[in-house]
Chain A
């Protein structure tokens, strides 16, 4: 049937399958993110379309606290850097560094969520509830969906961290970390657009 022993063939087949799977996961994730880009674009488009149309209640300039939001932006920017360092450490097969950078990324992500919680509660105190006007509705919906993505990302990174500690995150499975990195950077890109369009332009207007 074959010149080589069956075991070797089977082994080769397994490796080929694993490589193909990793490649599928990478591509699939790019494709999924393309769809997510359109999702967030629609939310941002809705925000822009309704900008300045509120008939009552606080407006963006009444409530935005730009310095704090800037800190949150820098926090998220920094978390992208730590995520890159985690992935690079994975390629360099330095498991200790992977755990460190992952933990830092998760903490920075949590800090961002903490910022968002503070911001929301401040806005609510200023009388800007979810259904106060179309600004509040489109603002909370847009940033809420972004925040939910950050929260999911934090949960994901914590999950990866746990599997790293249990020794399940082997260097051959770098793609698991890479797609988490892709996701994290994507969420960051979305925030940069939100920060520019909603916060900075909203304050400058």
Chain B
């Protein structure tokens, strides 16, 4: 097929990209991959949400028998694992994929095929994890999967955890390489580093965090897999191994992970607040420096999750200091948002409500984090519901709210249709009330001594009323989130047309039509300032449009469709099942398919095709 004659031929010219069902399997367009990420992570989010409601239903009153301890442990583990690895990281990846290249004025990411690979690997990981429910039971050792809960003598579910997360970890590294390369090399003329939107900085640092934190975790997973299937004793003290080593390796990933979740959120907030305060971000340079500081420091704090393991006062003190240090740049970030709001002409759209709602709850989550970072206090608070309350204020209030802000802000760009603002505002208030009702009482029940991760509690503990409130709150929160889903469906069916720039916004994505055409920009733009579009709308020498950076060169060269990324990930999926069931032939078969697709990919030239845009130039 790849004869020299064929390779030398010019790519064919088309007037439209492929739109059929199969084209979704073969697409390399960063926007369509972004849509795939968005759909899959929303489904995963719903699954994690149902698991949360199951847990809250079990905990509605003391000594409840709705879920037994076995089922509860599985639901608990799957809730945490799903939300972190299968819902929030890919949700961030969805927005990064769709908007980062447009925001830097590029036509696609640096490696479109690797981008597709990231998605398919993520999907394969999700399939493995969720197939565990039907293949002997889900993992039940918590999302942290501590040994000995997960050792060779525990249930079959942990293998699915290990193999699934190996695949999603690989997916994350591939994304990270791709995004970092894209941001360094693919910026439009004039888009200097310090003119990039903070969201793009967020993508960059998110990628750096994943790039360096996924490998230690992969090593931990591989060693645990070997302990479970090959009889080694890496984490088995009786064999000379070290159970704490799992915790170290896990949290070397696990703490940067917190910032992997938070950095996208901060990037989103830093776009939404300036857009609706109609002011540039206050202290842009400081915000970028703060993000860099947080990213670097996040690799030096992991053992604050292990204060209670008896590492000794020297180690505990060292990690306490680094953890407290990280609150300084985080505090600086909060001030950049507050001072951006200060004196702005604020429009409380739904997106803005979520962004503003983010601020107080994120601050509460940060402050309780400081309490937990104090080693002597942590010994008292660790493993209680106080911790659960703390990290849900960060994860739901901080991160989910910002993702919802992103959805209300950017979905009109993705679908071309506006969401209903009235329903949106209802969704915000129901979500906001439900959220606080769910998670605030947890601080109190935790302070009273209610242990986390346990399927029930005693009426003698005096926490009945807090748990009842939490459960009611969880259902209210669920209704609030459903309202957003209803809003999106209604908008897709009968929403008003959004137009290119419905919010009078600031950055380059709003200079493209909604939905964005396959090639993003007819002509690569020339960036003359930070907030590139806003600048052109108000520049004395401008006509309100972003200037082109080059002459129009006719047809646009697009990367070709390919099934190889999906095939590679299918091969790894098959191999993972082979390992799980100890079927050497199945593992070898999957491995061969993967190997074939890698080498086919490495030595096959992609000629792509030329897209002749129809109709008017922008």
User: CB–CB under 8 A between A and B in the complex?
Assistant: yes
Which residues from chain A contact B551 at a C-beta distance below 8 Å? 1-2, 4, 9
Kindly provide the distance from the CB of A106 to the nearest chain B CB, expressed in whole angstroms.
15
A140 and B234 CA atoms in complex are apart in Å by: 12
Instruction: Report A17-52 residues with CB < 8 Å from chain B CB.
Output: 17, 20, 23-24, 27-28, 31-32, 34-36, 38-39, 42-43, 46, 49-50
A133 touches B553 (CB 8 A): no
A133 touches B240 (CB 8 A): yes
Kindly state whether residue A55 has any CB partner on chain B within 8 Å. Answer: yes
Kindly provide the distance from the CB of A25 to the nearest chain B CB, expressed in whole angstroms.
8
How many B residues touch the partner, as a band? 35 or more
Instruction: Report B166-193 residues with CB < 8 Å from chain A CB.
Output: 173, 176-178, 180-181, 184-186
Which residues from chain A contact B553 at a C-beta distance below 8 Å? 2, 6, 9-10, 12-13
Interface of A is mostly: helix
Q: Given known contacts A50-B234, A55-B239, A134-B240, is B110 in contact with A28 (CB within 8 Å)? A: yes
Interface of B is mostly: helix
Kindly state whether residue B4 has any CB partner on chain A within 8 Å. Answer: yes
Which residues from chain B contact A46 at a C-beta distance below 8 Å? 219, 223, 234, 245, 249
A36 and B214 CA atoms in complex are apart in Å by: 10
A17 touches B176 (CB 8 A): no
Per-residue interface assignment for chain B, residues 239 to 268, with 1 indicating a CB less than 8 Å from any chain A CB and 0 otherwise:
111100100010010000000000000000
Kindly provide the distance from the CB of B600 to the nearest chain A CB, expressed in whole angstroms.
10
A38 and B93 CA atoms in complex are apart in Å by: 22
Kindly provide the distance from the CB of B575 to the nearest chain A CB, expressed in whole angstroms.
14
A35 touches B552 (CB 8 A): no
B603 touches A163 (CB 8 A): yes
A107 and B4 CA atoms in complex are apart in Å by: 28
Instruction: Report B512-558 residues with CB < 8 Å from chain A CB.
Output: 551-555, 557
Residue from the set B215, B216, B552 with the largest chain A CB neighbour count within 10 Å:
B215
A131 touches B219 (CB 8 A): no
Kindly state whether residue A62 has any CB partner on chain B within 8 Å. Answer: no
Kindly state whether residue B222 has any CB partner on chain A within 8 Å. Answer: yes
Kindly state whether residue B424 has any CB partner on chain A within 8 Å. Answer: no
Kindly provide the distance from the CB of A200 to the nearest chain B CB, expressed in whole angstroms.
23
Which residues from chain A contact B599 at a C-beta distance below 8 Å? 155, 159
A1 and B215 CA atoms in complex are apart in Å by: 51
A31 touches B176 (CB 8 A): yes
Contact of B239 among A1, A17, A133 (CB under 8 A): A133
A36 and B233 CA atoms in complex are apart in Å by: 24
Kindly state whether residue A120 has any CB partner on chain B within 8 Å. Answer: no
A38 touches B216 (CB 8 A): yes
B184 touches A38 (CB 8 A): no
Which residues from chain B contact A31 at a C-beta distance below 8 Å? 176-177, 180-181, 211
Instruction: Report B144-201 residues with CB < 8 Å from chain A CB.
Output: 173, 176-178, 180-181, 184-186
Contact of A130 among B7, B215, B223, B232 (CB under 8 A): B232
Kindly state whether residue A156 has any CB partner on chain B within 8 Å. Answer: yes
A35 touches B223 (CB 8 A): no
Kindly provide the distance from the CB of A19 to the nearest chain B CB, expressed in whole angstroms.
11
Q: Given known contacts A27-B181, A31-B177, A134-B240, is B557 in contact with A13 (CB within 8 Å)? A: yes
Kindly state whether residue A138 has any CB partner on chain B within 8 Å. Answer: yes
Kindly state whether residue A14 has any CB partner on chain B within 8 Å. Answer: yes
Kindly state whether residue A93 has any CB partner on chain B within 8 Å. Answer: no
B232 touches A156 (CB 8 A): no
B212 touches A23 (CB 8 A): no
Residue in chain A with minimal CB distance to B605: A168
B212 touches A38 (CB 8 A): yes
Kindly state whether residue B111 has any CB partner on chain A within 8 Å. Answer: yes
Which residues from chain B contact A168 at a C-beta distance below 8 Å? 4, 7, 603, 605
Kindly state whether residue A54 has any CB partner on chain B within 8 Å. Answer: yes
B216 touches A42 (CB 8 A): yes
A35 touches B603 (CB 8 A): no
A50 touches B173 (CB 8 A): no
By a beta-carbon cutoff of 8 Å, the part of chain B in contact with chain A is 4, 7, 110-111, 173, 176-178, 180-181, 184-186, 211-212, 214-216, 218-220, 222-223, 226, 230-234, 238-242, 245, 249, 252, 551-555, 557, 599, 602-603, 605
By a beta-carbon cutoff of 8 Å, the part of chain A in contact with chain B is 1-2, 4, 6, 9-10, 12-14, 17, 20, 23-24, 27-28, 31-32, 34-36, 38-39, 42-43, 46, 49-50, 53-55, 130-131, 133-134, 137-138, 141, 155-156, 159, 162-163, 166-168
7 tightest A-B CB contacts, nearest first: A39-B215, A137-B232, A53-B240, A42-B219, A131-B231, A24-B110, A42-B216
Listed by A's residue number, 7 A-B pairs whose Cβ atoms lie within 8 Å are A28-B110, A32-B173, A35-B214, A38-B216, A49-B245, A163-B603, A168-B7
